[in-house]
Chain A
């Protein structure tokens, strides 16, 4: 592969990772702020029965894409640690999305 195609490939991977981060963060928000209140206040357990597995799948895809992204590029070790830790804390995916956006901008400007 040539250098420009390497760059395009890396940018495409970062875009995918950002998209998955946003999806994971949004499903967590829907689970915590929509499904759980519907269950607790309205007594409709079906909300969490649906949103729980949906968020679970989004989380798995996020973890997989994160591992794939850091395994396929030279990320500084502290960045990798931060991204992995963020994967396990609520709303950490949004922090990662911002960090990835910065990395993407750096790559484009380089």
Chain B
């Protein structure tokens, strides 16, 4: 099989792992936001489990997705394509969102209880980003 197809297969697998981890982190923060100020029983191990998953799976998956994506773009000669520039902008925004969510999880795990309200929309924003990326990559409109 061509090297490109191997790169593509592992890129998709890594990106899927990254995005699913991002959605889980977004939902964990949103659930904390939803019950801010309400005294409810909290699972002390849940945030820790999400953080551990983030560190050992989501972050490496993100780096692997970037590395394989760059390798694919170099091999296919897409580096000057406009659709790729737009895709990279969206992926850069997802990277920033991931950093904010990961930092927020760390803060919540230390006992803080008021994450930024806008993070309530982190999971849907992630899905919106991945939908836009899928359209750009499949149709390559410009």
- Please name the residue on chain B nearest to A53 by beta carbon: B70
Interface residues of A in 56-75 (CB under 8 A from B): 56-57, 60-61, 63-73
Interface residues of A in 65-108 (CB under 8 A from B): 65-73
B110 touches A69 (CB 8 A): no
B103 touches A61 (CB 8 A): no
Q: How far is the CA of A46 from the CA of B26 in the complex (A)?
A: 40
Q: Contacts A66-B99, A67-B99 known; A1 to B110 CB distance under 8 Å?
A: yes
Q: Contacts A6-B110, A53-B70, A71-B104 known; A65 to B99 CB distance under 8 Å?
A: yes
Question: Within the complex, which residue of A13, A57, A67, A71 is in contact with B63, where a contact is CB–CB below 8 Å?
Answer: A57
Residue interface mask B96-108, A partner, CB < 8 A = 1: 1011111111110
B59 CB contacts on chain A under 8 angstroms: 64
- Please name the residue on chain A nearest to B105 by beta carbon: A72
A70 CB contacts on chain B under 8 angstroms: 103
Q: How far is the CA of A65 from the CA of B98 in the complex (A)?
A: 10
Q: Contacts A6-B110, A60-B95, A64-B95 known; A72 to B63 CB distance under 8 Å?
A: no
Interface of B is mostly: helix
Q: Does B109 make an interface contact (CB < 8 A)?
A: yes
Interface of A is mostly: helix
Among A64, A72, A73, chain B packs the most CB atoms within 10 A around the CB of A72
B99 CB contacts on chain A under 8 angstroms: 63-68, 71
Q: Does B62 make an interface contact (CB < 8 A)?
A: yes
B70 CB contacts on chain A under 8 angstroms: 53, 56-57
Q: How far is the CA of A53 from the CA of B100 in the complex (A)?
A: 24
Q: Which residues of A contact B (CB under 8 A)?
A: 1, 6, 9, 13, 53, 56-57, 60-61, 63-73
Q: Which residues of B contact A (CB under 8 A)?
A: 59, 62-63, 66-67, 70-71, 74, 95-96, 98-107, 109-111
Q: Would you mind naming 25 contact pairs between A and B with Cβ atoms under 8 Å apart? A: A6-B110, A9-B110, A53-B67, A53-B71, A53-B74, A56-B70, A57-B63, A57-B67, A61-B63, A63-B95, A64-B95, A65-B99, A66-B99, A67-B96, A67-B100, A68-B100, A68-B103, A70-B103, A71-B100, A71-B102, A71-B103, A71-B104, A71-B106, A72-B106, A73-B103
Apart from A63-B99, A64-B62, A73-B106, what 10 extra A-B contacts exist at CB < 8 Å?
Answer: A1-B109, A60-B63, A61-B63, A64-B98, A68-B102, A68-B103, A71-B99, A71-B100, A72-B104, A73-B107
